């Protein structure tokens, strides 16, 4: 347990020391929240959709967690390049334990990023439908963070260089976000988009987050929780297996 705590704490300290990383990672969420939220707000309201900021904010929060979590996998490549990973792997503990510490640390960092964006959404005018459901929303936020940190760890364990990681992440992350229903409702979407959304794991995180904060839910909160939990467990198993085979 001590190595898990050390690796978890190291991830948190690395994040808190990098002020430029904190500020830089807020760029995209702020752009989507204010540019899309206020730009498309009148059109969305005219179509009887209601307040677009209320609809958009959970998707933007999920986006900030997604990007922070999945790109935490690049730190494995960084540590491999500079030798820290080799020092970690020779420790008298199992690699599964090391992977657990790194994943929990990355998920905590992503959660912190999501909480910052959550606070910014209040400035934009977002208000939760029920204060009592906010802890449920935090649970969905942590599940999203855990899922995509594990996925980032899996890719970071399998790749050898930064360029390959960037290409795969950009090819994967943007479709995951745009096809998750974060920016548009799935109720009246074309059948092909709704089918893709059902395959996209982020869709269940966005839907659960939106349902707990605004009461607007597409798949059902319980379905969101169960499916997201199962996918998270599978990704953590895959990430653990790939990390156990890593060569420093």
DSSP conformational letter for 133? G
Is residue 44 very low, low, confident or very high in pLDDT (cuts 50, 70, 90)? confident
d(CA 211, CA 136): 10
The answer to whether residues 206 and 130 touch, using CB atoms and an 8 Å cutoff, is: no
Instruction: Give 186-225 as a 3 state SS string.
Output: CCCCCHHHHHHHHHCHHHHHHHHHHHHHHCCCCCCHHHHH
> Is a pLDDT exceeding 70 seen at residue 195?
yes
Taking each continuous run of H as one helix and of E as one strand, the counts in the chain are 14, 0
pLDDT in the model for residue 194: 85
Who wins on pLDDT, 48 or 18? 48
Q: What is the spatial distance between Cα 75 and Cα 21, in angstroms, rounded to a whole number?
A: 13
State pLDDT tens for residues 96-137.
777 777 788 888 888 988 999 999 898 888 989 889 999 999
222: CB partners within 8 A, 6+ apart: none
If you search the block for the tokens 């702020």, which residue do you land on? 30
Q: What is the pLDDT of residue 84?
A: 63
**What confidence category does residue 92 fall into, taking pLDDT thresholds of 50, 70 and 90?**
low
Q: What pLDDT score was predicted for residue 5? A: 62
Mean pLDDT of 65-77: 80
Domain ranges in the chain are 2-244
Which range among 34-38, 75-79, 182-186 shows the weakest confidence by mean pLDDT? 75-79
Mean pLDDT of the chain: 81
Residue 31: is its pLDDT beyond 80? Answer: yes
Asked if pLDDT for residue 77 goes beyond 80, the answer is no
pLDDT at 134: 92
> What is the per-residue pLDDT across 132-185, written as a single tens digit (0 to 9) for each?
999 999 999 999 999 998 888 888 777 776 677 677 767 888 888 888 888 888
pTM surpassing 0.85? yes
Residue 248 pLDDT greater than 60, yes or no: no
Quick one: pLDDT band at residue 18, thresholds 50, 70, 90?
A: low
């Amino acid at each position: 347990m001590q190595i898990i705590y050390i690796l978890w704490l190291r991830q948190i300290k690395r994040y808190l020391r990098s002020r430029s990383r904190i500020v830089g990672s807020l760029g995209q969420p702020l752009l989507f929240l204010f540019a899309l939220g206020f730009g498309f707000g009148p059109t969305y309201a005219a179509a009887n959709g209601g307040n677009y900021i209320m609809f958009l904010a959970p998707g933007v929060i999920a986006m900030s967690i997604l990007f922070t979590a999945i790109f935490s996998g690049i730190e494995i490549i960084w540590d491999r390049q500079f030798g820290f990973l080799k020092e970690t792997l020779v420790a008298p503990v199992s690699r599964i334990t090391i992977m657990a510490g790194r994943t929990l640390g990355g998920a905590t960092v992503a959660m912190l990023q999501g909480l910052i964006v959550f606070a910014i959404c209040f400035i934009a005018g977002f208000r939760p439908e029920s204060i009592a459901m906010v802890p449920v929303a935090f649970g969905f936020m942590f599940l999203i963070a855990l899922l995509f940190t594990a996925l980032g760890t899996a890719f970071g364990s399998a790749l050898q260089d930064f360029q390959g990681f960037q290409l795969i992440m950009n090819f994967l992350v943007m479709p995951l976000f745009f096809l998750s229903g974060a920016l548009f409702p799935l109720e009246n979407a074309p059948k092909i988009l709704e089918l893709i959304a059902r395959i996209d794991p982020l869709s269940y995180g966005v839907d659960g987050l939106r349902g707990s904060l605004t009461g607007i839910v597409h798949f059902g909160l319980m379905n969101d929780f169960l499916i997201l939990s199962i996918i998270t467990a599978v990704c953590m198993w895959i990430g653990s297996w790939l990390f156990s085979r890593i060569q420093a």
